[in-house]
A and B are shown apart, each in its own frame.
Chain A
Amino acid sequence: MKKKINRREFLITSCRLLATAIIPVSSLGLMQKASLANGAVEDTDWAKVWEGKEWGFAVDTHKCIGCGMCVKACKQENHVPLDDEVYRTWVERYIETEQGVKIDSPDGGRKFPPNEVAGGKQFFVPKLCNQCKNPPCVQVCPVGATYRTGDGVILVDDKRCVGCRYCIQACPYGARFLHPETHVADKCTWCYHRVMKGLNPACVTVCPAGARKFGNLKDHSEVKEILETERIRTLKPEKGTKPMVFYVGLDEVVM
């Protein structure tokens, strides 16, 4: 006897057929992606590039003269508008008076006015991203748009960032900002694009006082020597972020 198929049965059967046909196709696609990820997709295997590298940054606050060359060069190198009050690196001036500590950084440290207070302890402290070993900014990103590379630099994926500013809030050093033109999170990368080309970060290149040093901590670099011979301090160690910018001659009042 011939079985008659009604509309309901037809729809159910065709749905079932479609589902059974799509599942293997989709999972095949997933498997392909997985195998691509394991192999070399791009021509560079970054894990190999990172081997034997751990970048470190040393700042000698005794040497800094507060000229702001680093601030300007950083903005030019990394396309941060010169007139906007956002900075990947900046220089702070600390003035210790009887009333307390006064901190300023006019235009990121490019335009320090001759101050009225003459005496007391006064000094400059350059600031930048600390490329923490335990970065809160990476932890809070909801879309995986920021990450720490194997050689110790925290980068931002500007195509993936949705500009939610969680990372800006999370950074205890105020190192992040929303880029006024791209409207995504931006931060100091120790000029990773330069470092990978064998160049020093722009701020290190232009510093006329030699206050900024950059190098590989797993190699015989100037920074490693500073770490081994000088008395160094990091910023806000109590936060447990394990900063990788090491300061020589950092005063107690510096935050």
Chain B
Amino acid sequence: MAKAKEGGSGFTRSALFRIGTLLGLVLVIFAFVRTTAVPASFGEYGRYRGDNITENVNKEAGFTKDNSVCGKCHQAELQTLAGNEHQALNCESCHGPGNRHTEQPAAVSLKITETAELCSSCHAEIAARSEDKIATVRPFMHSGGGDCVMCHNPHRPLARIGGEVQ
């Protein structure tokens, strides 16, 4: 009788030990996976990696703030631009992103070599493009395929031939 009782409790004990060990192992594995698989900053602000905000914000800007940045060196061009049809334009709309140029003016050139296509993106005649808002032409009929700068100075667009006379 006593022997049977002893044996029974021994079995219960070993079963409990086994379950306990198993539970412990599960906890250990969970803790291990949780610490290695989930990035440190995950959940800092929401269900995402908080560090990613800084990564996104730290991306380099290609375009500068506005024309005042360009005007620091290119005052003459800005003065030419003042008061004419193109004065509201941003330099970088035509010249492209200028941040690199401000850092290395000699190495990174923003010179425009071809204008027919560039000017056409705004000034080509398309039915959806209202003539009330912008002067449009049929590029080939207008210049015969020639570059716009042959006659127009983009910084003073309506002054004829080289842009010196107006």
Binding site for B on A (CB under 8 A): 12, 15-16, 19-20, 22-23, 26-27, 29-30, 33, 36-37, 41-42, 44, 46-47, 63, 65-69, 73, 76-77, 93-95, 110, 112-115, 117-119, 122-124, 144-150, 155, 157, 159-160, 189, 191-194, 196-199, 202, 205-210
Pick the most buried of A44, A117, A155, A206: most chain B CB atoms within 10 A of its CB: A206
Q: Is the CB of B28 within 8 A of A77?
A: no
Q: Is the CB of B53 within 8 A of A46?
A: yes
Q: With the chains together, A95 CA to B127 CA distance in Å?
A: 9
Interface size on B, residues (CB 8 A): 58
Chain B: minimal CB distance from A84 (Å):
18
Say whether, besides A77-B63, A210-B88, A36 and B35 are in contact (CB < 8 Å).
Answer: no
Q: Per a CB cutoff under 8 Å, which of B31, B58, B122 touches A67? A: B122
14 pairs, A vs B, C-beta closer than 8 Å: A22-B28, A29-B35, A30-B31, A36-B40, A37-B41, A41-B44, A42-B41, A46-B53, A73-B63, A114-B125, A193-B58, A197-B61, A205-B66, A210-B88
Q: Is the CB of A112 within 8 A of B35?
A: no
Q: Is the CB of A19 within 8 A of B45?
A: no
Pick the most buried of A110, A114, A155, A191: most chain B CB atoms within 10 A of its CB: A114
Pick the most buried of B59, B125, B130: most chain A CB atoms within 10 A of its CB: B59
B92 within 8 A of A: yes
Q: Per a CB cutoff under 8 Å, which of A26, A145, A210 touches B48? A: A145
Say whether, besides A26-B31, A30-B31, A206-B63, A110 and B121 are in contact (CB < 8 Å).
Answer: yes
In the assembled complex, which residues on chain A have CB atoms less than 8 Å from the CB atom of B127?
95, 114-115, 117-119, 122
Q: Is the CB of B126 within 8 A of A114?
A: yes
Q: With the chains together, A124 CA to B160 CA distance in Å?
A: 31
B5 within 8 A of A: no
B3 within 8 A of A: no
